[in-house]
A and B are shown apart, each in its own frame.
Chain A
Amino acid sequence: MNTQELFETFRDAAAHPKKQLDAYLAAGEKVVLTAPVYVPEEIIHAMGLVPMGAWGADLPLARSKEYFPAFICSIMQSILELGIRGEYDGASAIVIPSLCDSLKCLGENWKYAVPTIPFIPMTYPQNRWGEVGTAFTKAGYERVIADLEKATGAKFDEEKLTASIRVYNRHNDAMRRLAAALPRHPEVTARQRSDLFKSAFFMKKETHTALVEELLGQWGEGSQAGEKVPVMTTGILCDSPALLDIFDELGLRIVADDVAAESRQYRTDTPDGLAPLDALSEKFARMGLCSVLYHPKKERLEYIAKTAKEKGAKGVIVVLTKFCDPEEFDYPLLKKACSATGLPVALVEVDRQMEDFEQARTLLEAFKVMLV
């Protein structure tokens, strides 16, 4: 495939997850949905099942409101909405981690709203370090394994998990190299950039890795040159085509991100030298720099400011999903950390139901004026 065909492939996968799901089912494969954030996909993969991201979609919310209050994260609401509408029909289970209060509500509501797709909880500890923390995480993984075996009939095998960890570490590496290369490719639009990351949720990791590596092979060195204004994005999601088009129309170029659905999830590999489940638990212990992961020193904030500076971003755009309390708690501290290094910060509030982005356009337009 040439570069354009590669981008079209990423776009197609990112825009049509239902098509992907149906193709897997038609091929006789069993699909397990993975809700945000940090589902141990390696386990699902090792059991011969296909993990598919379930991060919701931009759509009007109607049925999910029977289960959720109005002022709650729309990502959760849209996942449930899609479940109730039957968009995930055919999936064998959904794994929902417990890393924020809204996610806990999603899991509990899912059991009643979408009884045809079994809910599997992944209960993570916030105190995830040391013997106690990793033992707790491991117990959570063992529960997931038991529930997956029950829901799908598949069997867990430690050796297969070792192989799957290698597949995921390689994908992490490819995605990190992709993120590092993107600033040197100003021709990549914000929407194309989003497609590169979003498609990873729906494609098999081996396939996605191969395509990303092919793209990187074709790209060569690239160049920083360009008239667009470099910015860094942070948030849970930044995948709305209408919002991304505004970035492109205004000439704002994303040179780095701290978006949970994009680069944030690829920072930590599973270490070698441990039994596979212990290694996965250790990986989670080593993770951090994320709004939903407790860290006493909140090193994430300095990390964002430092990364933005290193990548040449002139400002940081916080794409805040409305009512996402972990992100909202971090925002004032993030603003302070960025201000301390002279980085302007813009806050764009988004939700999965947004039809009109004119306020975001006004805000980003003014922000760009500030940056140039």
Chain B
Amino acid sequence: MITLGIDIGSTTSKCVLLEDGNRIAATALVSAGIGTGGAEEAYRRVLTAAGVDEGAVARKMATGYGRKRWPAADGELSELTAHALGCHYLLPGVRTVIDIGGQDAKVISLDGQGRMSGFVMNDKCAAGTGRFLEVMAGILKVEVGELAAMAARARAPAPVSSTCTVFAESEVISQLANGAAREDVVAGICRSVAARVGALARRAGVREPVCMSGGVAANDGVRRALEEVLGVPVTTFPQAQLAGALGAALWAWQTAEHKEMT
């Protein structure tokens, strides 16, 4: 049975095609999220990559903030549930998932069987999210993807506020005006995200193993800073940004199975 999960986020659309609930047949990631044609594009790409027709997909589930806006979906689930499922599949036994997306951050606790046992979300604030990194990259005139490498070259990370993106923006400008090295400022920015999300994680309770999912997981500077803040290893995986879509595909498979049984 082929099932599909689509994660329509604030800045990207991700799609995963799953075969029999245990083999990833194809994936797609499009840098366009809610309110764009990104979801459709990701859907088309994943079908093409797998070489299957739309009719071959038994069940499609949507997640992410745009989940209600994708008419092709057979159902929807919250991204918390989706990331918990996806990360449990990618890293069986994981107990804490830190998902930092484009506009929010979430920490999910899982029990020994991979079931979600608790979670916390950030409040309405860009600090500690992918958006924060985008804004900071914009000030530094670098690509978001370059931040991790720059942070790795830092010698003395500059202090950057974790309270507010707007405050942090003026701090970064002040740091640069005072002659701080750009690499040190970038490391400070990564630490700022880690400090914010680390506090969130402590509220949820940190149990090992800990993994990161969502787009910001690709930023090794933030991942390493999180390890420092939490004092535990924080792992990630190449498909981290696809974990939500994967979880949705798994959910589609599980609910389709359930449907058949009943």
B-side contacts of A344, CB under 8 Å = 117-118
Interface of B is mostly: mixed
B78 & A366 in contact (Cβ 8 Å cutoff): yes
Residue A325 at the chain B interface, CB threshold 8 Å = no
B78 & A359 in contact (Cβ 8 Å cutoff): no
Residue A349 at the chain B interface, CB threshold 8 Å = yes
Residue A245 at the chain B interface, CB threshold 8 Å = no
Residue A62 at the chain B interface, CB threshold 8 Å = no
| A-side interface size class | 10 to 19
A362 & B65 in contact (Cβ 8 Å cutoff): yes
B123 & A366 in contact (Cβ 8 Å cutoff): no
B-side contacts of A362, CB under 8 Å = 65, 78-80, 121
B121 & A363 in contact (Cβ 8 Å cutoff): yes
Q: How far is the CA of A359 from the CA of B124 in the complex (A)?
A: 8
Q: How far is the CA of A358 from the CA of B8 in the complex (A)?
A: 14
Nearest residue (CB) in B for A364 is: B78
Nearest residue (CB) in A for B65 is: A358
Q: How far is the CA of A363 from the CA of B107 in the complex (A)?
A: 12
Residue A248 at the chain B interface, CB threshold 8 Å = no
B-side contacts of A361, CB under 8 Å = 78
Told that A363-B119, A365-B80, A365-B81 touch, could you supply 10 new A-B pairs with CB distance under 8 A? A359-B104, A359-B121, A362-B65, A362-B79, A363-B78, A363-B121, A365-B77, A366-B78, A366-B116, A369-B78
A-side contacts of B104, CB under 8 Å = 359
B-side contacts of A366, CB under 8 Å = 78, 80-81, 116, 119
Residue B120 at the chain A interface, CB threshold 8 Å = yes
A-B contact pairs, 15 of them (CB 8 A): A322-B123, A344-B117, A349-B123, A359-B121, A359-B124, A361-B78, A362-B78, A362-B80, A363-B119, A365-B77, A365-B78, A366-B81, A369-B116, A370-B115, A370-B118
Contact residues of B between 115 and 142, Cβ < 8 Å to A: 115-121, 123-124
Residue A347 at the chain B interface, CB threshold 8 Å = yes
A347 & B116 in contact (Cβ 8 Å cutoff): no
Q: How far is the CA of A362 from the CA of B80 in the complex (A)?
A: 8
Contact residues of B between 66 and 87, Cβ < 8 Å to A: 77-81
| B-side interface size class | 10 to 19
B-side contacts of A370, CB under 8 Å = 115-118
Once A358-B65, A359-B104 are accepted as A-B contacts, the answer to whether A347 and B81 lie under 8 Å apart by CB is no
Q: How far is the CA of A349 from the CA of B120 in the complex (A)?
A: 11
Q: Closest CB of chain B to A40's CB: distance in Å?
A: 36
Nearest residue (CB) in A for B117 is: A370
Q: Closest CB of chain A to B182's CB: distance in Å?
A: 32
Q: How far is the CA of A332 from the CA of B245 in the complex (A)?
A: 33
Query: What 1/0 mask marks residues of chain A from 340 to 366 whose CB sits below 8 Å from any chain B CB?
Result: 000010010100000000110111011
Q: How far is the CA of A366 from the CA of B77 in the complex (A)?
A: 8
A-side contacts of B120, CB under 8 Å = 347
Nearest residue (CB) in B for A346 is: B119
Nearest residue (CB) in B for A250 is: B78
Q: Closest CB of chain A to B85's CB: distance in Å?
A: 10
Contact residues of B between 90 and 130, Cβ < 8 Å to A: 104, 115-121, 123-124
Q: How far is the CA of A370 from the CA of B77 in the complex (A)?
A: 12
Q: How far is the CA of A361 from the CA of B77 in the complex (A)?
A: 11
A-side contacts of B115, CB under 8 Å = 370
A-side contacts of B119, CB under 8 Å = 363, 366
The 10 closest A-B pairs by CB, nearest first: A366-B80, A365-B78, A366-B78, A362-B78, A369-B81, A366-B81, A370-B116, A349-B123, A363-B121, A358-B65
A-side contacts of B123, CB under 8 Å = 322, 349
Nearest residue (CB) in B for A349 is: B123
Nearest residue (CB) in B for A358 is: B65
Chain B CB within 10 A, most for which of A344, A358, A363, A366 = A366
A-side contacts of B79, CB under 8 Å = 362
A363 & B80 in contact (Cβ 8 Å cutoff): yes
Q: How far is the CA of A365 from the CA of B119 in the complex (A)?
A: 12
A-side contacts of B116, CB under 8 Å = 366, 369-370
Nearest residue (CB) in B for A370 is: B116
Nearest residue (CB) in A for B116 is: A370
Q: How far is the CA of A359 from the CA of B10 in the complex (A)?
A: 13
Nearest residue (CB) in B for A347 is: B120
B-side contacts of A365, CB under 8 Å = 77-78, 80-81
Q: How far is the CA of A349 from the CA of B116 in the complex (A)?
A: 21
Q: Closest CB of chain A to B261's CB: distance in Å?
A: 17
Q: Closest CB of chain A to B255's CB: distance in Å?
A: 11
B121 & A369 in contact (Cβ 8 Å cutoff): no
B-side contacts of A322, CB under 8 Å = 123
Once A358-B65, A359-B104, A362-B65 are accepted as A-B contacts, the answer to whether A369 and B77 lie under 8 Å apart by CB is yes
Q: How far is the CA of A363 from the CA of B77 in the complex (A)?
A: 11
Q: Closest CB of chain B to A334's CB: distance in Å?
A: 14
Q: How far is the CA of A43 from the CA of B120 in the complex (A)?
A: 44
Q: Closest CB of chain A to B262's CB: distance in Å?
A: 14
Q: How far is the CA of A192 from the CA of B33 in the complex (A)?
A: 36
